[in-house]
Structure 1
Amino acid sequence: MRIEGSVAVVTGGGNGIGRALASGLVDRGARVVVADLDGAAAQKVADDIDARTPGSAVAVAADVSDEDRIREILARAESEFGPVDLYFANAGVAGRPGLDIDESVWEQAFDVNLRAHIRAAKLLVPDWVERGQGYFVSTASAAGLLTQIGAAAYSVTKHAAVGFAEWLSVTYGDRGVRVSCLCPMGVDTVLLHAGEESGSSLGELATRAVVSAGAVLTPEQVAEAVFAAMDEERFLILPHPEVLEMYRHKGADYDRWIRGMRRYRQSLES
């Protein structure tokens, strides 16, 4: 699907990968709604984009896990630019690490990392099927394929996000709805460092596990990987190619992989 001339929504667009996606989309000829819980951050991104390409971006401050707010974002996009063609479900939360966490932490993780994707798709897909085209890009994580040491809520909800993206593609992929699922490892964002700043030993472990597993990429490098995958309409986006080999090892011998992950956890703790 062509990006040029399209209308896009990027959630979590105020920082990190979302900011890089929004900027890169406009560079490729799209018009973008930048949505973020932090309205000031979203506005700064939109202003920076508009300074380069006037009239190409607007900002919306919103909790993108709230279906009513998603509806408002889509309406704003249509009123400013036209019907939404591309939706980047990119907003995410790390949640506090470990098992002994409050139910509210689990609820927030499920709401932002999973249910926000489901609620957006529910609003978008019927129109995309009628129009015969649309593109849903889900930001999950390598943790959704491999599990992140220390981070229970994050790993569980990112697995679920991968599962929903798969279901969406299987169910609607032959009806014009394209789906890609982004699964990076370490990316230099606020989310990467949330664990080490949590004051928890498990949180510090979670961050160490990611940064020691492979290169830490810039958000711009990840955005470029997303756009390359969209050009090919490829489902799985792996900015860290080694994730595929890790995933193959996991599938080939699940028990051996779990034993290896235990050893890896122990090496990080020592």
Structure 2
Amino acid sequence: MLHDKIALVTGGGSGIGRATSLKMAGYGAKLVIVDFNEAGGQETVRLIQEQGGEAIFVQADVSKTEDVQRYVQAAVDAYGRIDVFFNNAGIVQKFNRLADIEENEFDRIMSVNVRGVFLGMKYVLKVMEQQGSGSIVNTASTAGVKSEHSASAYSASKHAVVGLTKGAAIEYVKKGIRVNAICPGGVETALTKGVEAAFLSGGYVPEEVGNMRMGRYAQPDELAEVACFLASDRASYMTGSIVLADGGLTL
């Protein structure tokens, strides 16, 4: 499905990013793993190599222009092209009502979740346009299509990811580049383990948090399959699609 494709993955050191990187490698892609956490990123590379795949790691802060330029250049230097970009790195906010969100917390969320996604696309799109081909998959969230209680900053950031996805899809549809987004709901990762406790501390727990519609949280591998499909030529007629993979959470 991704045989001999060059795939660049941000947030590849854990969770959905790691699961998708391993899955892409299994489908024949060569990986460039990007993460702020060097230990996590190097571990993903090791796991890929153990299963017979090929990968390199680049440590980066996705909200910094120079770091983004560096990881993009590292991919081009190593492999000559970027066929797939899984623009996945993101963080969650401290759950609070809007008036209680600290300004530096709002800035932190926007810096990683919006600026990071924007910068990644900005510099990867330049490479893909020169190639005349490419597939970008952004990680949004169910919070990108409906707001979450006590998470207005996070919801705003993921709504922005949806907007960036649709905008880029329109602008590059005639350039051989597809841009889609995946919207996970509850996923069992290190990033989301503290969500329920955080809601409790804020005095409000949405009904669906403790009892997902399917009766469970998603496994990262399940989201990885969706991301791989969108990245691959099997989704050749899809661009600007905002794909919900949420176990019915938004129904």
Is the pair's TM-score, using the shorter chain for normalization, greater than 0.5? yes
Look up the match of 2:223. 222
Structure 1 length as normaliser, TM-score?
Answer: 0.83
Secondary structure of 2:67's counterpart equals helix
- In 2, the alpha carbon distance for the partners of 1:180 and 1:203 equals 35
**Structure 1 residue 176, shift from structure 2 partner:** 1.0
Cα offset for 1:201?
A: 2.7
User: What amino acid is aligned across from residue 41 of structure 1 in structure 2?
Assistant: G
Where do residues 54-133 of structure 1 align in structure 2 (5 Å cutoff)?
54=53, 56-98=54-96, 99=98, 100-133=100-133
- Which structure would you say has the larger RCO, counting Cα contacts within 8 Å and 6 or more residues apart? 2
Provide the rounded CA distance (Å) in 1 between the counterparts of 2:213 and 2:35.
29
1:197 to 1:63, Cα distance in 2 relative to 1, 3 A: farther
Contact conserved, 1:97 with 1:151, CA < 8 A, in 2?
A: yes
Larger radius of gyration: 1
**Which residue pairs with 1:45 in the alignment?**
44
Deviations along 1:217-239, one digit per CA (max 9) or x if unpaired, are 10001111222334224322222
The question of 1:175 aligning with 2:175 is answered yes
Matched, 1:21 2:27: no
Shift of the alpha carbon at 1:122?
A: 1.4
**2:235 corresponds to which residue?**
232
Give CA deviations for 1:88-131 in whole Å, capped at 9, x if unaligned: 11111101112212211111111111111111111121332232
Q: What is the one-letter code of the residue matched to 1:237?
A: V
1:59 Cα deviation after fit: 1.6
* 1:51/1:224 CA distance change after superposition, 3 Å: same
Question: What is the DSSP-based 3-state SS (H/G/I as helix, E as strand, rest coil) of the residue aligned with 1:238?
Answer: strand
Alignment partners' CA distance in 2, 1:133 and 1:15: 28
Q: Output the CA distance in 1 between the equivalents of 2:44 and 2:204.
A: 30
| Cα shift at 1:203 | 7.8
> 1:240: Cα distance to partner?
2.8
The C-alpha deviation readout for 1:149-169, integer Å capped at 9, x for no partner, is: 221211110111111101111
Q: 5+ residue gaps in structure 2?
A: none
Query: Corresponding residue for 1:137?
Result: 137
CA distance in 2, matches of 1:212, 1:79: 47
Identity of aligned residues (%): 31
1:218 alignment partner AA: Q
**1:174 Cα deviation after fit:** 2.2
Structure 1 residue aligned with 2:32: 33
Which has a greater percent of helix? 1
Residues 211 and 84 of structure 1: CA distance in aligned 2, closer, same or farther (over 3 Å): farther
Mapped contact 2:196–2:209 kept (Cα < 8 A): no
SS of residue paired to 2:173: helix
**Cα distance in 2 for residues equivalent to 1:210 and 1:130:** 44
Q: What secondary structure does 2:31 align onto?
A: strand
Residues 181 and 243 in structure 2, CA contact (< 8 A), matched pair in contact too: yes
Counterpart residue number, 2:186: 186
> How has the CA–CA distance of structure 1 residues 15 and 169 changed in structure 2, closer, same or farther, with 3 Å as cutoff?
same
Cα distance change of structure 1 residues 217 and 77 upon mapping to structure 2, 3 Å threshold: same
Measured in 1, the distance between the counterparts of 2:5 and 2:210 equals: 35
Letter in structure 1 aligned against 2:15: G
The more displaced of 181-190 and 194-203 is 194-203
Cα distance 1:130–1:240, how it changes in 2: closer, same or farther (>3 A)? Answer: same
Q: Calculate the aligned-residue CA RMSD, in Å.
A: 2.0
Distance, in Å, in 2 between the alignment partners of 1:203 and 1:157 is 23
TM-score scaled by structure 2?
0.89
AA of the residue aligned to 2:80: G
- Tell me, in whole angstroms, the C-alpha distance in 1 between the residues paired with 2:203 and 2:166: 29
Query: What is the aligned length?
Result: 242
Whether the 8 Å contact between 2:62 and 2:119 is mirrored in structure 1 is no
